[in-house]
Structure 1
Amino acid sequence: MTRDTTAGADGGSYENHPARRLWAGIEPIHALVYFAPEVGDAATKAGLKGWFMGYFAGRAAPLGAIGPEAVGAMFFGFAPDKVARALPDAWSFASPREVLDSRLDAVDRALARALPAGADLTRLATLLEHAAGSCDFGARPLAAAWSGVRLPEDAHPRLRVWLAATVLREHRGDGHVFTAVDHGLDGLQASVTHAAAGLAPGERLLVSRGWTEKQWERALVELIGRGVLDTEGNLTEAGVALRASVEQSTNRLASAPIRALGEYAAEEAIALATPLARHLIDTEAVPVPNPIGVTRP
């Protein structure tokens, strides 16, 4: 399948929106956390059992000892049973503070290994921190939680970049969730259209998100009935328009950091982040394709 880059109402692709281009530059930096062996090893040493327990606990740690219902709602695309196998059990092995501290330490080591040697990240850290600090966190619980994470004053700029990128991507992600819901998509249906747009292999999403084949097939039937997919599981014209509308709304809801930076500083941040993102993808530190749908910017 080809990737969906449908033109918006202004005649341009939604991928050309500065909020989208900033995400494309910073998402691989954040996403290293999901692929770096340092992070998985740290979760195991903290006492967590299995990769997905580390994933759910690590991403949710700033929220405290939270349960599966709230995490499932915020993470959106995962089957409830998948989340419930990790939470709240994770907190019996390690506290949220212990999980967060071990995760940040592991991310710092992973970045030191994976980013280009000698890269000066100070300016990018400053720009992204300013952007993240400008976010309105109303109805954005995951981003709000990560915005409360404090690093030591002597933290390396690479970790400052990662944390600010994390706040910004979760801010965008929270907005993406409620605009998908507003467009009538639940987490599974959103994943099915994600796969139908060619952004991630459907078979991989089905397994990694914990859905059964029966549940996936039911979502396909529902989307075919709505005219979003054709009988072969491809996006229809209406389906392409639906996804474009979701992405355009996501861009609009993620625009506050761009406005806070201003046009020139926003373009500077994108220009500084993009080579780092390309390096991580080109060296396969962040593999493509992946369930996130992030590609080489």
Structure 2
Amino acid sequence: MSTSPARRLWAAVEPLHAVVYFAPETASAAKDVGLRGYWMGYFAGRLAPLGPVGPAAATSVLFGFAPAMVARALPDAWSFASPRDVLATRLEAVEAALSRVVEPDAELVSLLERAAGACRFDGRPLAAAWSAVPRPPGALGRLWLAATVLREHRGDGHVLAAVHAGLTGLETTLTHIGDGVIGRADVQPHRGWSDAEWTEALASLRSRGLLDGDGRLTAEGAAVRRRIEEDTDRLAQAPVAELGADLDRVLELAVPLSRAAIDAGVVPVPNPMGVPRP
């Protein structure tokens, strides 16, 4: 894939957001607020700014998860903890997690908040919801929130690009695997798809000439994959345009922090998001 400015920004900043999925502080905070199990904490925590959404809306927004997996957590999560309480404890937990591995950088916080402020949210419900979350008082909380808005803005755009290409969430995942970005074992247990659903999606992509018999992308499949990534980059252009020449400064400041989070083991590589060590 290309090394476009939008993709370079994502690779530099994504690990700072991804701490929330792997740090023990986040899991402990979800348990303490009353949520049951990792995945209930994941779904409730990621969707909390949208309010007490049900499984149908959640599955639509998250795109890559099996509906049955989402339905095991929602709406039950909201009977244990309110979205407001989930959000507050999540922000506190991720700031504590980041404080173990990185030092706050006021300049980077300011630049990322500026970039996030340039995002538009047409057709981007998750990013719009996170953009409305008040800024935390601490620098690391603000850093994480800005990184999260940028991440979900790009993620919502990726969903738009994949749907435009005619793919379902699982089919989109299979094109990632077919491109060698991630492996089945890195994804299937974390997305909830059954073997039968997996086999059916593989057959669909093979019948359309996008995957070969071994599950690898064909030439046509690679072209579809490339268009999705190019469209994702194009739809993530607004924060890059806002930064302009300051993008290089963001990369200079963010990359060492993201590397520190990965090197400390807080964010594993490989991971289900396919984010590399920048």
Same fold (TM over 0.5): yes
2:179 matches 1:197: yes
User: Which amino acid in 2 is paired with 1:265?
Assistant: D
Kindly state the Cα deviation for residue 120 of structure 1 after the two structures are TM-superposed: 4.6
Deviations 1:174-198 (A, max 9, x none): 0000110000110010111112222
Deviations 1:32-74 (A, max 9, x none): 0000000000000000010000000000000011111111011
Deviations 1:213-272 (A, max 9, x none): 01101111111111111011111111111111100000000000111111x111211221
Kindly state the Cα deviation for residue 151 of structure 1 after the two structures are TM-superposed: 2.5
- Give the alignment partner of residue 224 of structure 2, picking from 213, 222, 242: 242
- Give the alignment partner of residue 106 of structure 2, picking from 113, 122, 147: 122
Instruction: Work out whether residues 124 and 153 of structure 2, in 8 Å CA contact, stay in contact via their aligned partners in 1.
Output: yes
Aligned match of 1:213: 195
2:33 matches 1:46: yes
Q: Unaligned regions of 5+ residues in structure 1, if any? A: 6-13
- Give the alignment partner of residue 134 of structure 2, picking from 122, 146, 150: 150
Kindly state the Cα deviation for residue 31 of structure 1 after the two structures are TM-superposed: 0.2
Distance 2:207 2:198 in 1: 14
Q: Which moved more, 1:266-275 or 1:172-181?
A: 266-275
2:86 matches 1:99: yes
Instruction: Work out whether residues 196 and 202 of structure 1, in 8 Å CA contact, stay in contact via their aligned partners in 2.
Output: no
Matched length: 278
- Give the alignment partner of residue 146 of structure 2, picking from 164, 169, 186: 164
Instruction: Work out whether residues 59 and 67 of structure 2, in 8 Å CA contact, stay in contact via their aligned partners in 1.
Output: yes
Distance 2:256 2:219 in 1: 34
Aligned match of 2:12: 25
Distance 1:70 1:219 in 2: 22
Distance 1:132 1:257 in 2: 6
2:251 matches 1:279: no
Distance 1:96 1:28 in 2: 24
Aligned match of 1:78: 65
Deviations 1:144-199 (A, max 9, x none): 000000134xx222111110000000000000001100001100101111122222
Identical-residue share of aligned pairs (%): 55
User: Which amino acid in 2 is paired with 1:273?
Assistant: A
| Coordinate RMSD, CA, aligned | 1.0
SS of 1:114's partner is coil
Instruction: Work out whether residues 143 and 170 of structure 1, in 8 Å CA contact, stay in contact via their aligned partners in 2.
Output: yes
User: Which amino acid in 2 is paired with 1:26?
Assistant: V
Instruction: Work out whether residues 128 and 269 of structure 1, in 8 Å CA contact, stay in contact via their aligned partners in 2.
Output: yes
SS of 2:192's partner is coil
Deviations 1:5-51 (A, max 9, x none): 3xxxxxxxx2x111110000110000000000000000000000100
Instruction: Work out whether residues 186 and 270 of structure 2, in 8 Å CA contact, stay in contact via their aligned partners in 1.
Output: no
* 1:57/1:120 CA distance change after superposition, 3 Å: closer
Distance 1:255 1:267 in 2: 15
User: Which amino acid in 2 is paired with 1:288?
Assistant: V
Q: Unaligned regions of 5+ residues in structure 2, if any? A: none
Kindly state the Cα deviation for residue 284 of structure 1 after the two structures are TM-superposed: 1.8
